[in-house]
Structure 1
Amino acid sequence: MAQLLDAGLQADRARLEEIIKRLHELTIRIGHDEMAQTVSDLRNRIFEPFMFVIVGEVKAGKSSFVNALLDTGEEIAKAAPQPMTDTIQQIIYGEERREVMVNPYLKKIFLPVDILQEIAIVDTPGTNTIVAHHQEITEQFIPASDLIVFVFEAKNPYRQSAWDFFQYIHGDWRKKTIFVLQQKDLATEDELSVNLGGVAEKAKQEGIEHPRVFAVSAKQEQEGMYGSGFGPLRQYIADNITGGKAPRLKLNNSVLTAQTINSRIADGLLLRRSQFEADTHFRQDIQQTLDEQVSQSNKQVDLMVENLLLTYDGITGQKLAELRSGLSMFGLVKRSVASTFGSTPSAKTWLENLARDLETDLNDKLRARLNDNVVDLAESIQQMVKTIDLKIRSSQTILSNDHEIFSSIAERRENVLRDLQDQFNRFVSKTENFTDEALFADRENLAPNLAAGGGIAALGVILMALSTLPVLDVTGGVLTTVGVIFAGFSTRGKRRRIVESFEQEIETGRGRLATELEDKLKVYISTLRRRIEANFGRFDEMLDREQKNLLILEGTHAEVDKELDELSQEI
């Protein structure tokens, strides 16, 4: 082998080994043990001989074909009568003959045969075998192979299991493949001619542009008979593989295998990136829904306060007009004379009645108006919560949990999403998540009113409780002011002071009504938004972690892809 390995080839091998080392690190970071083992095996085999993998159905004559091809005069690959005892046999060069059982399914056979200095042969169980592990183990050899030799029965090369296995090899691994019709001595010339053409046509249909099909008879070859068909096959191997080309072909095939694995990672990363972008869009959609709801709810609060103030102004304006009229000199004299005969209340009683009427009108009409508006606000918030729940349930799944590479990532995402659904359901069902101590300070009897509801269903009751808050008691100052000033109301100045004080207290109450109601409701809406957002904590952590991991994985993949492409073009 030494004379076949020039310095350039050695440098290319070393370079490829370094690239595959990075690819191996990528598979480890991904966490795919099987792929990591495949890449590790590929790296270890860079300096090994060119590997033939012989595949085909049981009884297709694979072992006889191998024995005839090596032409050592002895049986190397044994054809077991019981497929259940069959094993993979890896036949490689050794200074002396010996056999090593690697495991119950793999045997290494070392032979001092010259051709094995350039090629190694793997004789596999049949593609139609029913023995457990056989196909699984056979498939582990395919990624490291350099040439697949598909052996068919010359009389019937159309068995489905063999072609199904070929689709796996060619479709997933794009391996160089040749086709051999073995036992041609058992077929007629017409059968052989038809089947050679049929296999070539079938291979074209499966994506082989220029299929190479050989008809051979291991029996005739081993008996030294002319026309066994091994001459053209050996010539093809000499021209394309063993004639000093094996190391370079081996290198090319290793590059191709690494590119195939990296390409499969790329396909998985595209799906993983798509899932991340869909999840990011979903999360942004939730935030946008919350932003829009907060904005809409705040506008509803502004409109609610505006409507309440219009009602407030109408009631207080009417009472102010009554006060001015009643405190005029004519009105007081008339009331004083009339009260002497008992037909009209005294001025003091009249003022007290006016203040009480004001309080009653404000409480009754403002509460009625507030409750009407609170219903709309509660329904709006309830609809927002239901919308978010629906969005969580209908979030898009792109990366399925049976993905060949990233199934663990998909399962982890599925668990996070399921936990989010469960947590949000629990959140929605608990009344305490929709109450606020600051909003309901001094309201000791609120809880019993919510007993019939629960969680989001209690929103209406919770918000309607605002109508009993002290913020609506704006007449206390008026009563106090009137009582203090009334003792000396007889002068005109005192009467004017009563009206001015009344106006001032009404204005103060107006501002307190607007400010406290607006502040309490907007703070409540903001608090509720934060509580809803808190349910997405674990989901947000997952997105942050996924973003960082994707950047690392995609960067490493891109670097490996670039280096493999450059090396492929150079060699």
Structure 2
Amino acid sequence: MFGSSVDQKEEFLKSSIETLKEVCSKFGFSRKVEELEKFLQRLESPFLITVFGEVNAGKSSFLNALLGIPDLCRTDVDICTDRITVIRYCKTPERKKIDELTEEVCVNNPLLKGFTVVDTPGINSVLEHHTYITEQFLPKSDVILVVLPAPNPHTKPIWDWVDRIGKDFGKKLVFILQQKDLVSPEALKRLVEKVKTYARERGIEDPKVFPVSALLELKGEGNSGFSELRKFLEENYTGERQIKVKLLNLRNELIKFTQRCLEDIENLEREGEELKKRLEEVLNLLDRKLQEAKRYKESLLRSVDDWIASLTEKVANRLEGISLLDLTLRKSKVEEALKGLKVDIEEELRRFTQYTLIPNLELFEEGVLKPAVAQAAERLREFERYQKKLGKKVAPSGEREVLRAFESSLGSVKVGGGEEAVAVMGGSLLAGSLMMLLGGSFAVDITGGVIASLGVLLGVGWIVRKKRKLLKELRDILQTQIGERLKRELEKLVEERLNETLLSMRNYVKSRLETVEQNLRELKGAKERLISLLRELQNFNP
């Protein structure tokens, strides 16, 4: 599965990292994606070489010669600055700022593959930012090259710095006497021993010193000393054995990373299952409340029928006070009686609305609608929080409009002649809608229609009708002119309110439930991929 060559093993780890990136990106693990990018950089450039030296030590020429890239530190790429510069291979050359002290330069040169080079500025800047460099680069470095000018390797700042880091990083230090072509062979031998003495005095037991000439190496002339240095670095820091150790360490870190990622996925899965359960519960609640709302509506409409029956009796009793003489000779008395009856019917309608319809509507809204909508809204907020955890965008929906409708205060609504009604209805939108209806022309229209119909009834022989027939005709008039119209308006108001609240919320909850179910399917698929990848990583042996 993994292949036998180093390249095949690296390709497997690269594929593993890409799989993890895909999973982490899908579920919003942005920090994990950043961590995986660093893993990928380590895989592509597994060896970190950090270079220190004084400004006049020929450090830039040394880097060009060591890496075999003559123009690496020329001005056309502008690498050599007073910043810490991280140099790595990239297909697309670019330069970017990492922080206030560090920048990264990508160079499209295959000779850089496998390496990351940290080029530090002059030693004075190194001492100034000692803590930063020590924390950020030295622990990760495979080898630390200290470049000294061969003519004068004795300067105090560089050896003070070696003294500060020797205890922790002495085994990584390799001393480079650059510009050996500027001193005689005899002097060079003495300088090599002197550098070893300085190093031992600072706790480095077996210091390695390599005299080199970047000038000779770049010209391809004479013994530049770079062959010995490269051989030493390969045998001790950058060879195949070290590559395998690097791959093993990276594999172990990826196993731990995958296990953490798997834990996060499983936590999201458990949270999703809980959310799914709560959404299902609130969906069932909304369904029950819709059935309860239907019963409330039917009860409300029956109350209108009961009120019409009571009103029929009262109107019949009033009409019985009109005599045949009044009907034939006292027309003005009949008109006056009908006017009084109109006022009485309007008052009965007002009282019925205030003491029966409004309390029932408020109870319906407060006891049925609001609790269900509030609970649904809480679940939808949980859904939003969950989606954000998954790194998914939440499309704006209308549930906030439903909530705002409940929270709106109707205390400022003005209805002609309806101040008392506004005070009675409080914050109920249903009650408010009903009172606005009755405060307008509706009540006048229906009572006017009733009186007109009663006038016709009186004109065709009121006195001679039997009471049973009279009551039936009265009931028909009142039921048609008041009851049916009032029930139609009530039914319309209730249905509109249900559509705005319970039905809307039910649609939102159902849609969110479907999304959560899709999320769970995706999480399950991701978990299966991670479990499979974890097994492969555990079986991988570089």
Counterpart amino acid of 1:228?
Answer: I
Match of 2:492 among 485, 500, 523: 523
Q: Following TM superposition, by how much is the alpha carbon of 1:459 offset from its aligned partner in structure 2, in angstroms?
A: 5.6
Match of 1:186 among 140, 149, 160: 160
SS at match of 1:90: strand
Counterpart amino acid of 2:446?
Answer: P
Match of 1:504 among 472, 475, 480: 472
1:488-526 C-alpha deviation (Å, 9 max, x unpaired): x8xxxxx5x533320321343465454543343023210
Q: 1:474 and 1:381, CA in 2 relative to 1: closer, same or farther beyond 3 A?
A: same
Please give the alpha-carbon distance, in whole angstroms, between the structure 2 residues aligned to 1:107 and 1:367: 85
Which residue is equivalent to 1:120? 115
Please give the alpha-carbon distance, in whole angstroms, between the structure 1 residues aligned to 2:69 and 2:9: 37
Q: Contact 2:275–2:382 at 8 Å: present in 1 too?
A: no
Structure 1 segment 432-443 matched on structure 2, within 5 A: none
Which residue is equivalent to 2:211? none
Q: Following TM superposition, by how much is the alpha carbon of 1:16 offset from its aligned partner in structure 2, in angstroms?
A: 5.2
Counterpart amino acid of 2:85?
Answer: T
Q: Contact 1:101–1:108 at 8 Å: present in 2 too?
A: yes
The reply on whether 1:558 has 2:527 as its aligned counterpart is yes
Please give the alpha-carbon distance, in whole angstroms, between the structure 1 residues aligned to 2:58 and 2:141: 19
Q: Which runs of 5+ in 1 are unaligned?
A: 93-98, 131-151, 170-174, 197-212, 327-334, 340-344, 435-445, 490-494
Structure 1 segment 227-306 matched on structure 2, within 5 A: 228=204, 242=241, 245-246=244-245, 248-249=247-248, 252=251, 255-256=254-255, 259=258, 262=261, 266=265, 291=290, 294=293, 298=297, 301-302=300-301, 304-305=303-304
The reply on whether 1:215 has 2:191 as its aligned counterpart is no
Q: Contact 1:87–1:125 at 8 Å: present in 2 too?
A: yes
Q: Following TM superposition, by how much is the alpha carbon of 1:292 offset from its aligned partner in structure 2, in angstroms?
A: 9.2
Please give the alpha-carbon distance, in whole angstroms, between the structure 1 residues aligned to 2:512 and 2:62: 59
Please give the alpha-carbon distance, in whole angstroms, between the structure 1 residues aligned to 2:92 and 2:458: 112
SS at match of 2:204: coil
SS at match of 1:462: helix
Q: 1:423 and 1:84, CA in 2 relative to 1: closer, same or farther beyond 3 A?
A: farther
Q: Which runs of 5+ in 2 are unaligned?
A: 97-103, 147-156, 178-194, 209-231, 423-427
Please give the alpha-carbon distance, in whole angstroms, between the structure 2 residues aligned to 1:160 and 1:288: 62
SS at match of 2:115: strand
Please give the alpha-carbon distance, in whole angstroms, between the structure 2 residues aligned to 1:230 and 1:67: 27
Which residue is equivalent to 1:467? 443
The two structures, once aligned, show a CA RMSD in angstroms of 7.1
Q: Contact 1:87–1:106 at 8 Å: present in 2 too?
A: yes
Q: 1:156 and 1:367, CA in 2 relative to 1: closer, same or farther beyond 3 A?
A: closer
Match of 1:369 among 339, 347, 351: 351
Which residue is equivalent to 1:89? 87
Please give the alpha-carbon distance, in whole angstroms, between the structure 2 residues aligned to 1:59 and 1:274: 59
Q: Contact 1:100–1:109 at 8 Å: present in 2 too?
A: yes
Which residue is equivalent to 2:184? none
Q: 1:264 and 1:101, CA in 2 relative to 1: closer, same or farther beyond 3 A?
A: farther
SS at match of 2:436: helix
Q: Contact 1:471–1:517 at 8 Å: present in 2 too?
A: no
Q: 1:177 and 1:353, CA in 2 relative to 1: closer, same or farther beyond 3 A?
A: same
SS at match of 1:215: helix
1:117-166 C-alpha deviation (Å, 9 max, x unpaired): 9x63442669xx99xxxxxxxxxxxxxxxxxxxxx98x997x37865x69
Q: 1:262 and 1:68, CA in 2 relative to 1: closer, same or farther beyond 3 A?
A: farther
SS at match of 2:489: helix
Please give the alpha-carbon distance, in whole angstroms, between the structure 1 residues aligned to 2:54 and 2:265: 37
Counterpart amino acid of 2:105?
Answer: L
Counterpart amino acid of 1:242?
Answer: R
Please give the alpha-carbon distance, in whole angstroms, between the structure 1 residues aligned to 2:58 and 2:47: 18
Please give the alpha-carbon distance, in whole angstroms, between the structure 1 residues aligned to 2:312 and 2:108: 103
Q: 1:259 and 1:290, CA in 2 relative to 1: closer, same or farther beyond 3 A?
A: same
Please give the alpha-carbon distance, in whole angstroms, between the structure 1 residues aligned to 2:93 and 2:381: 50
Please give the alpha-carbon distance, in whole angstroms, between the structure 1 residues aligned to 2:69 and 2:346: 107
Q: Following TM superposition, by how much is the alpha carbon of 1:81 offset from its aligned partner in structure 2, in angstroms?
A: 11
Please give the alpha-carbon distance, in whole angstroms, between the structure 2 residues aligned to 1:404 and 1:178: 38
Q: Following TM superposition, by how much is the alpha carbon of 1:547 offset from its aligned partner in structure 2, in angstroms?
A: 3.8
SS at match of 1:106: strand
1:401-450 C-alpha deviation (Å, 9 max, x unpaired): 9x8983xx45x55xx26x8757986999999xx9xxxxxxxxxxx99889
Structure 1 segment 441-452 matched on structure 2, within 5 A: none
Counterpart amino acid of 2:87?
Answer: Q
Please give the alpha-carbon distance, in whole angstroms, between the structure 2 residues aligned to 1:536 and 1:124: 61
SS at match of 2:460: helix
Structure 1 segment 291-370 matched on structure 2, within 5 A: 291=290, 294=293, 298=297, 301-302=300-301, 304-305=303-304, 308-309=307-308, 311-312=310-311, 314-316=313-315, 318-319=317-318, 322=320, 345=326, 356=338, 359-360=341-342, 363-370=345-352
Please give the alpha-carbon distance, in whole angstroms, between the structure 1 residues aligned to 2:445 and 2:7: 87
Q: Contact 2:415–2:439 at 8 Å: present in 1 too?
A: no
Which one is further off, 515-524 or 31-40? 31-40
Q: Aligned residue pairs: how many?
A: 452
Please give the alpha-carbon distance, in whole angstroms, between the structure 2 residues aligned to 1:398 and 1:65: 58
Counterpart amino acid of 1:527?
Answer: E
What is the TM-score when the length of structure 2 is the normalising length? 0.53
